[in-house]
Structure 1
C-alpha cells in the first residue's frame, strides 16, 4: 500500500491507499468541525476567511487563518522532508516516520484535547495540530501515488471526476474507456469513503468527543502493520525460494 512506488504501483495499491486514508481524513474533518468549528483537512476556505478578515481590519483573526494555512504547509514540508531523508537509507520504510508522526499527533490531540474547555486559544492549538497532521497525510499520499490519489479534500476530485465522466462520451477506444472507468471508480471510492468517515465520525463524536481521533490513529496504525507484515512475508518467501 505504502511501499510500492512508480511503475511498481498497481490500481489495487492506489485503491487501498485511497479508501483507507480518505476514510481517516473524513474522521478528522468532522471531528474538527464538531469540536472547534474549523475545517482541518484543507486550506481552500481559510484563504477566503483570511482575505475577509483583512478587509474587515480584524488582523488578529486574519492571522489565525493565515496560521491554519501555514501549519498545513509545514505538515506537507515535514512529511516529504522525512520521506526523502529515510529514503536514502531504507526506501521501503520511507513512509513509516511520516505516518507514525501523524498517528502521534492525532493520538495526543485525542488524549489531551478533552481536558481543556475548548476556548479560543486551545481551539486554535488543536486546529494547528490537526492541519499539520493532514498536511503530512496529503503530502505523503500525493508523493507515493504520484499525484494519482489525494485524500484530504474533494475539490480536485470532483473536478477530475467531472472531466472523466464527460470524456466517456468522446473516447471510443477500449483502452481509453478502461482507463477512464478505472479512474472514475477510484475517484468515487475516495469520495465515498471520505463521506463514510465523516458520517461515522459524527456518530462516534457524540460519545468520544476529541477521542474520535483515536479511531483515525488506529486505522493508520493498522495500515502500517499491514504493510510491515506483507513486507516480512515477502522477505521470508524470497529467502525460502533462494534456498
Structure 2
C-alpha cells in the first residue's frame, strides 16, 4: 500500500490506501472542528474565510486562516522534499516513513492534549493542517495523483465527471468506472471518518488524536519494515 509507486500500483492497492487514510483524515478534520471550530483539511473554506475576514477588516482573524493555508502547503512541501530525497537514494520505504512521521506527530499531539488542556487552539489546528498537507502530498505522489485523501472538492468534481462519462452514449465507461469507484470510496471514507471521529470524541475526548496517530503508525511501520526487505529501486 505504501511501497509500490505510480504504475506499479493497481486499483486494489489504491482503494486500500484511499479507504484507510481518508477515514483517518476525515476523523481528524471533524474533531479539529469540534475542538477549535476550524477545519484543517478544507483549504477552500479557509481561503474563503480569509477573504471574508479581510473584507470585514478583521485582520487578526484573517491571518489565522492564512496561516492554516500556509501550514498545509508547508506540510505538502516537506513531504515532497522528503520523498524526493528518499527516491534519489532508492529508499523504497520513504513513503511509509512519511506516513509514520505523520502518525508520530498526531500521536504526540494527542498525548500532549490528554495530559494538559492548556495547548492553544491555534497550535492544534496548525499542527493538524501541517499533517493534512503532508498526508495529501504523500498519497498524491505515490499514486500519480489518483488518490488525494483530503481533497474533497476535487473528488466531488471527479465523481461528477465520472458520472457524466457513464451516462454519455459515447463515454468510455470501462475507463471511467474504476476511477469513479475510487473517488466514491475516498469521499465516503472521509465522511464516515468524520462521523465516527465525532462520535468517538464524545467517549474518549482528546485521546482520539492519540488513537488516530496509533492507527497511522500501525499502517505505516509494517510497510517500512517490509520495504526494507526489498531491493532498492534504481
Q: TM-score normalized by structure 1?
A: 0.88
Q: Which runs of 5+ in 2 are unaligned?
A: none
Displacement after TM superposition at 1:127 (Å): 0.7
Matches within 5 A, 1:141-156: 141-156=139-154
- Tell me, yes or no, if the aligned pair for 1:35 and 1:209 is still in contact at 8 Å: no
The counterpart of 1:200, out of the listed 196, 200, 219, is: 196
Shifted more, 226-235 versus 79-88: the winner is 226-235
Displacement after TM superposition at 1:213 (Å): 1.5
Deviations 1:108-148 (A, max 9, x none): 21111241246xxx001111100001010001100111111
Counterpart Cα distance in 1 of 2:152 and 2:34? 19
Q: Which residue of 2 aligns with 1:92?
A: 92
Q: Which residue of 1 aligns with 2:55?
A: 55
The counterpart of 1:160, out of the listed 133, 150, 158, is: 158
- Tell me, yes or no, if the aligned pair for 1:82 and 1:97 is still in contact at 8 Å: no
Pairwise CA RMSD: 1.9
How many residues are matched?
Answer: 230
The counterpart of 1:179, out of the listed 171, 175, 184, is: 175
Counterpart Cα distance in 2 of 1:103 and 1:171? 46
- Tell me, yes or no, if the aligned pair for 1:107 and 1:217 is still in contact at 8 Å: yes
Counterpart Cα distance in 1 of 2:166 and 2:144? 24
Q: Which residue of 1 aligns with 2:205?
A: 209
Q: Which residue of 2 aligns with 1:65?
A: 65
Displacement after TM superposition at 1:153 (Å): 2.9
Q: Which runs of 5+ in 1 are unaligned?
A: 236-243
Counterpart Cα distance in 1 of 2:201 and 2:80? 31
